[in-house]
């Protein structure tokens, strides 16, 4: 078996691997990218999920916040991100009202706080998110630069604010404590807290600060914290990156299963019945750190960080009616629709899940992409009034797989999601689920086990592992380009370029960009 050669071999064709390939090939390096699946994008794909239903769903990842404009501009990506009129709607459990956050009408939002009995929390809400905007403006621009230390990051924020109060609130102390101090209303507290729990299994008051890290990445994106809808679905983002990589001269090889990475950077892979190998001066790994260890032939000594979510995709014949008859479904579903996510409900759900029980009322977040981007539906579906719904359920930890089994857990979690949604609807969800070409309801559920199986996400963790701060400790070794860009591993020349890299996670391209910059710096560019 002969061994081919490339300056850079990239393992994994997710959006980060494609980003790295586009940068490196554009700089004149020979680049080969190997992808196990038959399509490009990893978790950032759009697929026609239901037979005979022409709706292209963002099947796994769904919204974009952390993708820097710099990457879009550098690679001339024809990506369009649409802002949502409404930030969120949260029904008050057991009542026919809720909290509507209108991005374009402060008075309407104030009125919604008042109707909820939370009028005193509105000024605190405005101040809190003014503070997160300050945090975002100070920290986000640096995510595509070499890492800075904790002290440097703290000083940078101090320059922006005049003191260390924001650092103490959002970095040093549990975010839940600040939320409790800032707000009185149980529902308002819960809505704020959810940004610290998306994909992270943590209590409301988290002494480990995992919720803080999750919260930080959710509120700093783009320097604004806005989460936008990719026009054409998530596949349009990955498609644009794949096109950019090809145009730059990268070689893209799909259906290529990497089986080993040797000490001398020979990557062995199978394609069909054949085995191939390719040597690189650099190997970039767009897979989890755990998967890299296995490819290097090493034993895993620590369990993977546990994923804790369930994702349900569906297509509806129309938007369902709400118990809150004063509000149109288009407004309620136009932003993030929070269900059973009051502070106390989130606390109860965590306690249940930690003890190995599916929460009685699963906390859920819903996104209706088709309201913002009808193009993901065929003209016929658009005309019929059909819509997509994506549900992201919290506090569904991977540990439940071991006790229930993957199939039973999937079924139980789907039932839990439907029950949670039905608790705030004026009609059963079943009555508005579209039927596919074979007469089956258009609903599918992806558990942590499904993500582990389909995408090789260890423990179903959507971040590939624990999130890390976008800075390093003061004593960190930053002597090499790989370390300075937060993409180094135990092996020089073998770099992480996926969500498991520092500042990785979400659909951002940041890890791919930073791995490419580390290579280019090493090469003297």
Place of tokens 């193009």: 375
Range 3-44+66-79+231-301+463-522: architecture per CATH:
3-Layer(bba) Sandwich (3.50)
Helix axes 210-220, 121-139, angle to 10 degrees: 80
Q: Write out the two tokens for 241.
A: 């990156």
Count CB atoms within 10 A of the CB of residue 298: 11
Q: Where are the domains of the chain?
A: 3-44+66-79+231-301+463-522, 85-111+306-462, 121-226
C-alpha 496: how far from its chain's center? 18
- pLDDT value at position 374? 97
pTM over 0.85: yes
Do the Cβ atoms of 442 and 433 come closer than 8 Å?
yes
Give the model confidence (pLDDT) of 24-64 as tens digits.
Answer: 999 999 999 999 999 999 999 999 999 999 999 999 998 99
Q: Residue 198 and residue 309: Cα distance in Å, rounded? A: 8
Longest CA pairwise span in the chain (Å): 72
Q: Is residue 305 pLDDT above 90, yes or no? A: no
pLDDT tier at 301, thresholds 50, 70, 90: confident
DSSP string, 442-508: SEEEE-HHHHHHHH--GGG-TTSS----SSB-TT----SHHHHTT---SSTTEEE-STTSTT--SS-
Residue 351 has pLDDT above 90, yes or no: yes
Token pair, residue 47, equals: 């697929």
Domain 85-111+306-462 carries which CATH code? 3.30.9
Residues 467 and 507: beta-carbon distance below 8 Å:
no
Phi, psi of 459 (to 5 degrees): 65, 15
pLDDT digits (tens, 9 = 90+) for 120-160: 999 999 999 999 999 999 999 999 999 999 999 999 999 99
Burial environment of residue 326 by CB neighbours within 10 A (0 to 12, 13 to 18, 19 or more): exposed
pLDDT over 90 percentage in the chain: 97
Are domains 3-44+66-79+231-301+463-522 and 85-111+306-462 of this chain identical in fold? Answer: no
């Amino acid at each position: 078996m002969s061994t081919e050669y490339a300056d850079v071999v990239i393992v994994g064709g997710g959006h980060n691997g494609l980003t790295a390939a586009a940068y490196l090939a554009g700089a004149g390096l020979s680049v080969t990218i190997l992808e196990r699946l038959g399509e490009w994008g990893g978790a950032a794909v759009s697929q026609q999920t239901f037979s005979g239903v022409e709706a292209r769903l963002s099947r796994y990842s769904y919204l974009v916040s952390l993708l820097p404009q710099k990457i879009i501009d550098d690679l001339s990506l024809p990506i369009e991100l649409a802002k949502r009129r409404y930030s969120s709607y949260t029904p008050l459990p057991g009542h026919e009202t809720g909290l509507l956050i209108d991005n374009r009408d402060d008075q309407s939002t104030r009125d919604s706080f008042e109707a909820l009995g939370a009028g005193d929390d509105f000024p605190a809400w405005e101040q809190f998110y003014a503070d997160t905007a300050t945090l975002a403006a100070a920290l986000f621009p640096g995510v595509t630069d070499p890492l800075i230390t904790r002290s440097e990051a703290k000083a940078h924020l101090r320059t922006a604010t005049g003191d260390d109060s924001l650092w103490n609130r959002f970095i040093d102390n549990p975010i839940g404590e600040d939320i409790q101090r800032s707000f009185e209303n149980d529902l308002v507290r819960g809505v704020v807290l959810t940004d610290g729990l998306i994909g992270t299994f943590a209590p409301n008051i988290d002494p480990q600060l995992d919720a803080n890290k999750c919260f930080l990445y959710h509120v700093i994106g783009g320097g604004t914290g806005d989460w936008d809808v990719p026009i054409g679905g998530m596949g349009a983002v990955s498609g644009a990156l794949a096109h950019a990589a090809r145009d730059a001269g990268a070689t893209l090889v799909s259906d290529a299963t990497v089986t080993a990475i040797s000490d001398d950077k020979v990557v062995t892979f199978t394609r069909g019945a054949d085995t191939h190998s390719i040597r690189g001066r650099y190997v970039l790994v767009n897979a989890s750190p755990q998967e890299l260890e296995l490819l290097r032939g090493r034993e895993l000594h620590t369990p993977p960080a546990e994923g804790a979510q369930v994702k349900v995709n569906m297509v509806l014949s129309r938007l369902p009616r709400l118990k809150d008859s004063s509000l149109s479904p288009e407004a309620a579903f136009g932003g993030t629709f929070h269900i059973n996510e009051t502070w106390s409900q989130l606390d109860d759900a965590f306690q249940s899940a930690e003890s190995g029980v599916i929460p009685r009322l699963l906390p859920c977040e819903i996104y209706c992409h088709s309201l913002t981007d009808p193009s993901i539906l065929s003209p016929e579906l658009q005309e019929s009034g059909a819509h997509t719904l994506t549900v992201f359920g919290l506090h569904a930890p991977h540990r439940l797989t071991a006790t229930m089994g993957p199939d039973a857990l999937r079924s139980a979690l789907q039932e839990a999601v439907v029950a949670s949604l039905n608790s705030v609807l004026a009609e059963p969800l079943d009555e508005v689920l579209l039927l596919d070409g074979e007469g089956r309801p258009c609903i599918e559920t992806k558990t942590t086990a499904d993500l582990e199986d389909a995408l090789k996400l260890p423990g179903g963790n959507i971040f590939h592992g624990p999130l890390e701060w976008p800075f390093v400790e003061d004593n960190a070794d930053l002597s090499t380009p790989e370390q300075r860009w937060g993409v180094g591993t135990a092996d020089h020349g073998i770099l992480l370029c996926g969500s498991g890299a520092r500042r990785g996670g979400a659909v951002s391209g940041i890890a791919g960009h930073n791995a490419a910059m580390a290579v280019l710096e090493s090469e003297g560019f």
